[in-house]
Amino acid sequence: MESWHSSYPAAWAETQKFATAPKLLGSMGYDGYEDMYFSSRELEAAYEAEGLALDFWTGFDSTWKEPWKYFDQPSAVNRSDLKPCSNTNLYNDLLMSAYLSASGDTAGVVVQPDGKVVANCPGDGYFWLSPSCRSDPTKCVLYLTGGGGYGLSEVLQKATKWNIPLAFGVALTWGDFTVLPTKHKSMFYWWVPDPTFLELAAVKTIFPPHNKQEWEDGIISSGALAAFIGKIVSNDLSTLAPRLLGFLDNIQLDLATVNAMLLEQKTSGEDWEPMMCRWLQNNADVWCRACPSGTYSKQLFDNDGPTYICEACPAGTSQNSGASLACEPCLKGEYQDQTGQQSCKRCDVGDYQDEEGGPVCKKCPDNSRTLQRGSLLFTDCGCKVGYINVANVTAGNLSCAKCQEGLTCPVMSSLKSLQDGNHPLGLDYLPAVAEGYFVTEDQPLEVYRCGLITSCPGGLPAQCGGGLIGVPCGECPEGYNLSEGKCEQCEDSMVVLWVLGMLFVFVLLTASYYLMTSKVTAKASVLFTTTCAFGMLISLLQSIGIIGTMTVEFPVNISSFFGWFSILMLDLDNFGFACLAGSATALRYLASVLFFPAGIAWYMLNFGVSQLVPRHRWDATKVASCMGQFMQVGFSTMSATALIPLTCYTHPNQKQSLLKYPDVICGTDEHGKMLAIGICLLIVGVFGFLSLCSYAAYMVPTWSAREQHSRVRAFRFLVFRFRLDSWWFGVPLLTRGPLIALPIVLATDYPAVQTVWLTFILLCFLACQALAWPWKVPLLNALDCWMS
C-alpha cells in the first residue's frame, strides 16, 4: 500500500504501538507533492505571448507582470458551484490569526465582535483577494481548492509575500472541485501522484527553497518539502506470502511511470487488475532486478518448479558486481565476518589468514604481531617489540619470550638472528646485546650487567672489550693485568716494582716505630698538628674511595677522580697486582686481606728480633701503639675489604655478582671461599679491633687513675689527638668508614638508598663533631667538619 505517513507522523507513531502494526518496506521510488498547480495550456500561452515563465513565482509578481491576462476572473465562476467564505476555513480563527501574525496583512482579515479573526471576503463573500489585486478584482488570478480550503494557510502567505494577485475560492463539493479547473483557466490545489487533473498536464509553481527555520516559526511562504511516500505491508505478509513480500520489496517506480499508468486507466476505463497484470508482464525489468552486490542468485524448487531468490553472501565471501550466481571467497590475507557484503576486509595487524574463504582471521601467538595488515602466512607473525622468538625459525615455529634488560629486541626479533648477527628483513629488525651488558653463546637470553660499560661493547653474544674474558668480562687472561679497562701483558718490571713496593711498606712500618716519639700533652705542637692533618687527609681519601664503589652513576670525570684513590682501598688490580698474585680472583682477594695480619706480624717480628739486640730492644707498649696506629689508619680500608664478598649486585637474569669482582658469581664455590676469608677478617680484624678500642676507651680513665701508664701508652694512638675531656672520640671516628660502606652492601641495587644513607651518616658525624669539638687544635675541628 502507498503511504503518505510522513505527512501524518503522530498517526503513524500511534499505529506502531500495536503488535499488528504495518511494516514499512521503504520508498515507493518517488516523492509526493502538495502545491499550487495550473494547466500547461496557460503556461504555454504566457510563454508564446511574452516569454513569461509562470512556472516560477516571479512570473506571478504583479509589480512587474500581468499574469491575470492568462486566467479567468473570479466573476466567471458560477457562485452555485462555490462555498461562501463563511462556510470554509477562511473563517477559522486559528488559521487566520496565524496568517495575520505571519503576514501582517490587517486588511485581509476582519476582527469580529467576539474577537475572532476571519478572512475579509469583499463583494458577495465568495473569494478572498490577495493585497496585490484587492483594489481591482479584475486583475486577480482565479484559484480554486476543495474541502474546507485545502492548503489555505500556505497559499495565502505565498500570495501576500510574493505579490501574487490571487482570488482564493473553495468549491462547493468534491465533484465541483474536480470539474471547475477543467472548465476555467485557473490555478488550483492538487497533490501528486493523483489522477484527478492528469489530463490537464498540470504544472507546479516553483517557490524559493524550503526555509526550515521559517516554517518552524509559522512563516510558510517558501517552498514546501516533498513528502516521503513509502510502501507499507501487513505485519504477517512475510509468513503468508513471502514471494509477494520479496516482489514488493524490490519494486520501485518513478513519478512519470505512475502518472502514465494513472492516465491510461482513467482514459481507457479498464479495470485495474488486468491493466496492472499486463504492465507487470511488460515491465519485468522494473520489479525483477538483478541481485545486488553482496548477494547471489540461489535456485529453489517448489510445486510450481524452479525459481530464484537473492541470497546474502555468507560470511567468508563477498560479491561486488551484482547479478552473480555465486559469491567469491575472500582471498588469503582477507576475511569477512558478516553476511551480504560487497568486499572482504584485510586482516588487522597481529592477524593472518592462510586460507581462502575465511570468516575470521587467525591470531598470531601471544606477544607477537605482523608488520602490516593483510598478512597471508603464519610466518608473517613475529614477536613484538621487547620480545624474542626462541623457537626454531626454520621449522616455522613461534614462541615469544620477554627480553631481559640489556637485550635490544625490535619487532620480529629471533634467537637465531641474535646469534648470527643477521636478519632477513634488515638491520632494523636485528636484536642485539646493549652496551654494558653480556650474554654467553650457550645462553644468549641470560643477561649479565658488566662492571664497567666499556668492558662490554654489546652487539653479538660473548663480546668483551679490551681483551677481557669471563662472565661478564671481568678478568684478564693469565699473564695479563687490567689497566684503564684494558688487559695488558705483564712485564717483568711490574713484578719487580711490586716487590720493591712491598719492601718499602714494611720498611715504612718499621720506621713508624721510631717516628712515634712525641709524648701525650694537653697542648698540641706544630708537628702534632701536621701529623693529625695528614691522618685526617688519609681518612678522607679512604672515605672518597669507599664512595667511589657506590653503584650511583657518577659523571665520567668524577668516576675517574675516584679511581685514583682505589689503591687506598687495596683495589690493586688497576696497578698490575695480577702480575704478582696471578689471575685467580680468590687468590688476589686473599692477598689483599692478608695485608693487615701481615702488617701486625711484621711488627711482632721486628719486636722479636729487637729482643736479640739489648741496646735496640723495642718497647712492648710502643709496639702495641704502633700496631694500633696501623690498624686505625687502615680500619676503613679493612672494613671495606672485609665486606667485598657480601656486596653482590643483581644481573637482569636475577643472578648476582660481586660488585668489585663481576666475574665471581655469588653462590659459587669461588664466592664461598672469598666469603669465608672476608667474614674472618670482619670478625677478627674489624669487630675485634673495634671491640678492643671500645674497651680501651672505657678503661683509659681507670688505668690513668691507677697509674697503669703502660696500658695507657699502649692505646696512645686512640686518645692522643683529642682533648682530655673527649678522649673517647677515636672510637666513633673508627666507625665512619664501615658505616659509609654498609649501605653499599645492604642496598647494592638501590643507588638512591645508598645516597640517602651516606648523606645521613655524614650529617650525623658533622653534628657530633660540632657538638663535641674533640680535637686539641681548633683548626683541626673546623677541618674535620669541612671534610664531613
By the 8 A CB rule, do 651 and 448 touch? yes
What is the per-residue burial (b if ≥16 Cβ within 10 Å, else e) of 293-330?
bbbbeeeeeeeeeeeeebbbbbbbbbbeeeebeebbbb
Integer Cα distance of 234 and 240 in angstroms:
9
Classify residue 733 by burial, with Cβ atoms within 10 Å: 0-12, 13-18, 19+: buried
Q: Using the 8-state DSSP alphabet, how is residue 649 labeled?
A: E
What is the per-residue burial (b if ≥16 Cβ within 10 Å, else e) of 185-210?
bbbbbbbbbebbbbebebbebebeee
Cis check: omega of the bond before 193, within 30 degrees of 0: yes
102-116, 425-439, 733-747: segment of lowest average pLDDT:
733-747
Most confident of 206-215, 691-700, 743-752: 206-215
Within 8 A by CB and 6+ apart from 41, the residues are 185, 200
The β-bridge partners of 483 are 486
Residue 659 confidence (pLDDT): 86
**In residues, how long is the chain?**
788
Grid coordinates belonging to 388: 624474542
Grid coordinates belonging to 124: 458577495
Residue 562 reports pLDDT greater than 80: no
Instruction: Tell me the backbone φ, ψ of residue 723, rounded to 5 degrees.
Output: -60, 155
Q: Using the 8-state DSSP alphabet, how is residue 206 labeled?
A: B
The closest of 184, 185, 152, 169 to 79, measured between CA atoms, is 169
Phi-psi map region of 352: left, alpha, beta (phi>0 left; psi -120 to 50 alpha)? beta
The closest of 324, 318, 319, 326 to 359, measured between CA atoms, is 318
By the 8 A CB rule, do 521 and 722 touch? no
Residue 525 reports pLDDT greater than 60: no
31-35, 177-181, 265-269: segment of lowest average pLDDT:
265-269
Residue written as grid cell 601471544:
366
The closest of 443, 451, 445 to 473, measured between CA atoms, is 451
Residue 524 confidence (pLDDT): 54
By the 8 A CB rule, do 630 and 728 touch? no
Integer Cα distance of 87 and 89 in angstroms:
7
Grid coordinates belonging to 520: 701525650
Domains of the chain: 12-230 (no CATH), 288-380 (2.10.50), 493-787 (no CATH)
Classify residue 426 by burial, with Cβ atoms within 10 Å: 0-12, 13-18, 19+: exposed
User: Which stretch of DSSP H or E encloses residue 741?
Assistant: helix 736-746
Alpha carbon of residue 620 to chain centroid: 77
Stated pTM of the model? 0.61
Grid coordinates belonging to 527: 708537628
Residue 13 confidence (pLDDT): 78
Grid coordinates belonging to 91: 473563517
The closest of 399, 477, 407 to 443, measured between CA atoms, is 407
Looking at residue 769, its amino acid is Q
pLDDT tens track for 484-496: 778 888 887 787 8
Averaged pLDDT for residues 326-343 = 92
Residue 545 reports pLDDT greater than 80: no
pLDDT tens track for 585-631: 888 888 888 888 988 888 888 888 888 888 888 888 888 888 888 88
Looking at residue 269, its amino acid is G
Averaged pLDDT for residues 544-554 = 71
Mean pLDDT, the chain, integer: 85
Residue 522 reports pLDDT greater than 70: no
Integer Cα distance of 405 and 394 in angstroms:
27
Looking at residue 629, its amino acid is Q
By the 8 A CB rule, do 399 and 445 touch? no
Integer Cα distance of 367 and 411 in angstroms:
10
Judging by DSSP bridges, how do beta strands 166-171 and 141-145 pair with one another? parallel
Grid coordinates belonging to 760: 645521613
Residue 290 confidence (pLDDT): 79
Residue 25 reports pLDDT greater than 90: no
Residue 517 confidence (pLDDT): 57
Grid coordinates belonging to 548: 667511589
User: Which stretch of DSSP H or E encloses residue 474?
Assistant: none
Within 8 A by CB and 6+ apart from 340, the residues are 294, 295, 312, 313
By the 8 A CB rule, do 376 and 353 touch? yes
Long-range contacts for 476-480 (Cβ within 8 Å, ≥24 apart)? 476/578, 476/583, 477/583, 478/582, 478/583, 479/583, 480/578, 480/583
pLDDT tens track for 143-177: 999 999 999 999 999 999 999 999 999 999 999 99
Integer Cα distance of 137 and 150 in angstroms:
22
Residue 560 confidence (pLDDT): 58
Instruction: Tell me the backbone φ, ψ of residue 665, rounded to 5 degrees.
Output: -85, 130
Looking at residue 398, its amino acid is L
Averaged pLDDT for residues 240-268 = 78
Residue written as grid cell 485495474:
272
Residue 207 reports pLDDT greater than 80: yes
The β-bridge partners of 142 are 167
Largest CA distance in the chain: 168
Residue 384 confidence (pLDDT): 94
127-131, 558-562, 575-579: segment of lowest average pLDDT:
558-562
Neighbour count for residue 67 (Cβ, 10 Å): 22
Most confident of 169-183, 519-533, 701-715: 169-183
290-294, 379-383, 553-557: segment of lowest average pLDDT:
553-557
Residue 643 confidence (pLDDT): 87
Residue 569 reports pLDDT greater than 70: no
Residue 10 reports pLDDT greater than 80: no
Residue 372 confidence (pLDDT): 92
pLDDT tens track for 55-112: 999 999 999 999 999 999 999 999 999 999 999 999 999 999 999 999 999 999 999 9
Integer Cα distance of 665 and 585 in angstroms:
11
pLDDT category of residue 181 using cuts at 50, 70 and 90? very high
Residue 566 reports pLDDT greater than 60: no
Within 8 A by CB and 6+ apart from 486, the residues are 465, 466, 467, 468
Grid coordinates belonging to 96: 487566520
Judging by DSSP bridges, how do beta strands 345-346 and 334-335 pair with one another? antiparallel
Instruction: Tell me the backbone φ, ψ of residue 504, rounded to 5 degrees.
Output: -65, -40
Grid coordinates belonging to 290: 538483478
R_g of the chain computed on alpha carbons: 55
Q: How far is CA 400 from CA 392, 434, 443, 652, 653, in A?
A: 11, 19, 16, 18, 17
pLDDT category of residue 558 using cuts at 50, 70 and 90? low
Averaged pLDDT for residues 720-742 = 78
Residue 527 confidence (pLDDT): 58
